[in-house]
């Protein structure tokens, strides 16, 4: 059932379903990109760093009207923290750029993991049902994302609402000879059946963790597709007995349910590349029996705690919740902070780096205010070198577009904008009395319009004075 459903949906959205027709392009040579097939379709004009090839590749999507994007969503057992926020905001900025600068209509699907060991453990500690806990923190996550101005995906898909589809997906993998069930009611992916095709995202897969003595795996590196129910755990009936899905199979099923056998973009934090994304690739390619399921994998760098070489995480207990952060800084400040480094790089969180972003935003808002005052005749200035400003504006537009087309180089784009503001401020030399001669309101109007448009494109509002005022002064 699922395979028919997935192909039907994928066929509507992406005409050249991978492996089924002319959608495959040429092979790319080179050690890392060996075997990567450049897709046919719509060239966005962007070069993007692809974790599959470890280089910048032209971003070619199946259709400009329906570019498919799967985003790993949260496991909803606790409040989201600033490390999560950094990844989601960075990819939200990329999504906005692709949509508003490069004209791609993106269909984004986000999976919500609402059944998991952590959810069950936390629910037991709080003496509530796992479903109640998951629902509570799912809503909490969505509120946090809205507060950060992260656009919602086109559709959220919960794991618990798709158990029959997940079971069907597992049955397909077994039927294709790549998984096995055990007497204990578990189902595992047979990693040896994948051969040398495993390891598309990592050169050397980290060794398997030590297995307990009662493990029913054939090989220690095999991973669970279906977990037999433990006493007092939530479970669903399946052909292998009562149980629940493994983590990796959930995302493969959800993505395939909507997009079928080809996916343009897959995103997530760098910590998800292995084993999660690697296992998703293995599952999808053996289920769909295709050479290349996902065409581009985008991974964001960690948010580090300043002064420590460690990522912000719940396990290290070094995190700041999104709600607590937003008591001190605005979502616009956080967004500009995220834009000041490559989405792929690790970035240090500190109060000083937040204050730098805040002051840049203040300086931008102050320039816009001064330029408007000049336009209205409320600011007396020396004669304006209009030719210089028109040239700088033209140069800035080209520089920003080039930066964004180069793997979404937001630091380069922000630098170009700040340079334009610097040139604008140099021309706004305030004098006691306005000298005679022509004024130049049009060029400042164009600059203000462009700057506001740039920030609005990436989700930052310069016009929201109440928001600026409550956090920045």
Residue 406 DSSP label: B
Residue 9 has pLDDT above 70, yes or no: no
**Taking residues 166-190, what's their average pLDDT?**
98
Coil, strand, or helix at residue 262? Answer: coil
Kindly report which listed range (116-125, 151-160, 180-189, 203-212) carries the lowest average pLDDT score: 203-212
Report pLDDT for 185.
Answer: 98
Residue 38 has pLDDT above 60, yes or no: yes
pLDDT tens-digit series, residues 259-314? 999 999 999 999 999 999 999 999 999 999 999 999 999 999 999 987 667 788 87
pLDDT tens-digit series, residues 221-235? 999 999 999 998 999
CB distance 81 to 314 below 8 Å: yes
pLDDT tens-digit series, residues 137-160? 999 999 999 999 999 999 999 999
Backbone angles phi, psi at 45, to 5 degrees: 90, 0
- Please give the share of the chain, as a percent, with pLDDT higher than 70: 89
CB distance 283 to 248 below 8 Å: yes
Report pLDDT for 464.
Answer: 60
Write the CA distances from 166 to 160, 246, 255, 293, 417, integer angstroms: 10, 10, 11, 18, 47
């Amino acid at each position: 059932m699922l395979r028919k459903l997935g192909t039907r949906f994928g066929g509507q959205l992406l005409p050249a379903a991978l492996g089924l027709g002319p959608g495959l392009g040429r092979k790319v040579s080179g050690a890392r990109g060996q075997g990567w097939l450049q897709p046919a379709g719509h060239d966005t004009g962007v070069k993007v760093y692809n974790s599959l090839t470890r280089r910048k590749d032209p971003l070619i999507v199946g259709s400009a009207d329906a570019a498919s994007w799967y985003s790993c969503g949260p496991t909803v057992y606790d409040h989201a923290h600033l490390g999560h926020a950094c990844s989601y905001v960075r990819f939200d900025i990329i999504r906005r750029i692709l949509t508003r600068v490069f004209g791609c209509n993106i269909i984004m699907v986000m999976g919500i993991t609402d059944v998991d060991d952590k959810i069950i453990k936390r629910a037991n500690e709080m003496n509530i049902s796992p479903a109640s806990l998951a629902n509570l923190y799912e809503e909490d996550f969505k509120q946090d994302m809205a507060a950060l101005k992260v656009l919602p995906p086109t559709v959220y898909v919960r794991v618990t609402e798709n158990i029959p589809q997940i079971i069907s997906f597992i049955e397909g993998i077994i039927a294709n000879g790549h998984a096995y069930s055990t007497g204990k009611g578990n189902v595992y992916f047979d990693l040896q059946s994948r051969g040398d095709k495993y390891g598309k995202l990592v050169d050397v897969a980290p060794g398997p963790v030590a297995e307990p003595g009662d493990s029913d795996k054939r090989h220690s590196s095999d991973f669970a597709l279906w977990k037999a129910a433990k006493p007092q755990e939530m479970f669903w009936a399946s052909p292998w007995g009562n149980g629940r899905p493994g983590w990796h199979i959930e995302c493969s099923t959800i993505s395939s349910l909507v997009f079928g056998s080809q996916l343009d973009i897959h995103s997530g934090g760098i910590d998800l590349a292995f084993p999660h994304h690697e296992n998703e690739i293995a599952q999808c390619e053996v289920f769909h029996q295709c050479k290349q399921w996902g065409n581009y994998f985008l991974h964001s760098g960690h948010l580090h705690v300043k002064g420590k070489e460690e990522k912000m995480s719940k396990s290290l207990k070094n995190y700041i919740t999104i709600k607590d952060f937003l008591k001190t800084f605005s979502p616009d400040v956080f967004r500009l902070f995220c834009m000041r480094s490559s989405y792929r790089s690790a970035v240090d969180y500190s109060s000083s780096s937040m204050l730098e972003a805040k002051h840049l935003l203040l300086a931008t808002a102050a320039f816009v205010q001064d330029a408007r005052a000049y336009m209205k005749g409320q600011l007396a200035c020396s004669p304006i070198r209009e030719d210089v400003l028109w040239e700088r504006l033209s140069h800035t537009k080209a520089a920003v577009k080039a930066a964004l087309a180069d793997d979404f180089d937001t630091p380069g784009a922000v630098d170009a904008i700040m340079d334009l503001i610097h040139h604008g401020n140099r021309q706004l030399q305030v004098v006691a009395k306005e000298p005679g001669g022509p004024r130049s309101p049009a060029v400042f109007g164009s600059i203000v319009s462009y700057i506001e448009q740039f920030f609005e494109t990436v989700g930052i509002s310069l016009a929201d004075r109440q928001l600026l005022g409550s956090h920045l002064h």
